[in-house]
Amino acid sequence: MTVFTQAQSFIADVKVDYSQVQGSNPQIYQTLERSLKDFINNTKWTSNRLKPHERIEANFNIVVMQRTGNEFKATLLVQSRRPVFKSTYYTPMLNLNDPNFTFEYTENEQLVFNDRKFSNKNLTDVITFYVYMILGYDADSFVKNGGTEYYKTAQKIAQMSQGSKFSGWSELDGLQSRATLVNNFLKADANNLRNAIYMYHRNGLDTMADSDQRAKNNIGNALIQLDFYAQGNFQQFYPIDLFMTGKKDEISKIFNAGPTSTVNLSQIKEILNTLSPKNSDAWNNLKK
């Protein structure tokens, strides 16, 4: 059973949008919002004590589209960010949308996650899965492959949820299902990406206060690591898409300001255009 305690290293905000549900009593949604916020922020998810510059912030935005009794059909937007060392800047991390979020909830019920079995309600299971995905992604940005233990916990949650009546868990549910997502991060194919995430953040952003140019070069070299995916058949590799979605605006700002880098910007543009052609406007405008 997950232990409840104060966990100031993880700060989450929860919003429940019920505007699409006609004639619904708002109280149950407001209670759900408060309960989920307490559940996420007051659960001890990890035994590691994060330092102030490692503190994670996250948003869970639930859009309820339909309610039938105690069953809710919704989508879930999950976003996280973490501070950059020696600065007031927060860098975006995970940014994903889960369209298959159906769950059962009774107003004022205690939200508990059991790490040994599926709840049969799908609420805390899905939320906890994404908490561990956030922790894993974040840990990878501080230590090489530092997120493995968190990804394995998320994988275990996905495995416990197999065969339930709720969709979104099985690899058969598509390339962006929860099982596919976490399994891909744990495959050898993800090693280059996870190493790039470490280089980008720890050797790049976290050193920006000491040397803009060196940090920019390290970020550029991290992006060149992604050539492994550009040379292979990884256009539908969801972890790559998540990285591009989360970092598109930041990469554009980094290579359009500050000192001129010495990395091969033409190569970086080619890699990024191959992996994320929908963002070609941003990539083609990289200047220095």
Mean pLDDT of the chain: 91
pLDDT of residue 2 exceeding 70, the answer is: no
pLDDT of residue 287: 87
Q: Which residues, including other chains, have CB under 8 Å from residue 174's CB and lie 6 or more apart? A: 180
Say whether pLDDT at 5 is over 60: no
Q: Taken in order 87, 88, 90, 91, is the CA torsion positive or negative?
A: negative
Give pLDDT, residue 234: 84
Q: Are 100 and 73 in contact (CB under 8 A)?
A: no
Q: Is the pLDDT assigned to residue 255 strictly greater than 70?
A: yes
| Band (170; pLDDT cuts 50, 70, 90) | confident
At CA 145, angle to CA 48 and CA 42, rounded to 5?
30
pLDDT one-digit tens code per residue, 25-82: 889 999 999 999 999 998 888 877 767 666 789 999 999 999 999 999 999 999 999 9
- Beta-carbon contacts of 261 under 8 Å, excluding residues fewer than 6 positions away, are 213, 216, 217, 220, 255, 288
- Is the pLDDT confidence value at 259 over 90? no
pTM, entire model: 0.93
How many angstroms separate the CA atoms of 72 and 81, rounded? 28
Token digits of residue 34: 């408060």
Average pLDDT (115-126) is 92
For the stretch 206-229, pLDDT in tens is 999 999 999 999 999 999 999 999
b/e per residue, 92-113, with b = 16+ CB within 10 A? ebbbbebebbbbbbeeeeebeb
pLDDT at 4 over 80: no
pLDDT at 3: 33
